[in-house]
Amino acid sequence: MRKNKSAIKRARQADEKRLRNSHVKSTMKTYIKKITAVMENKDAEHVDEAFKKAVSFINRAASKGVIHHNNASRKVARLSKKVHSFSQKG
């Protein structure tokens, strides 16, 4: 058990950050899954809209420090590659 005040506060802050970060990561994964679901349904109209929302959220997560900016860039690049290949086929 932590004894001094600063260690107790640090533990409390770490728990709050962990919960916030896990929520942001979970939401980010949901946006990515929505894009793949839209592509599986072959709904070309909603792909661009879902892609824009996902990219916006991924960049926001990177700016908050939840994920590294290189990780965000890699995710966006892979998503854009999928969306581009989908639009070429459709």
* pLDDT, tens only, 69-83: 999 999 999 999 999
Q: Please report, rounded to a whole number, the percentage of residues in the chain having pLDDT higher than 70.
A: 98
- At 34, the amino acid letter reads K
- What does the CA dihedral 41, 45, 50, 56 come to, rounded to 10 degrees? 160
- Say yes or no to pLDDT of 5 above 70: yes
19-31, pLDDT tens digit by residue? 999 999 999 999 9
Residue 67 belongs to a domain with what CATH number? 1.20.58.110
Mean predicted confidence (pLDDT) in 31-58: 93
The residue segments making up the domain with residue 11 are 5-89
Q: How far apart are CA 8 and CA 14, in angstroms?
A: 10
Residues shown for the chain: 90
- Say yes or no to pLDDT of 2 above 80: no
- Say yes or no to pLDDT of 43 above 90: no
Q: Considering its fold, how many domains does the chain have in total?
A: 1
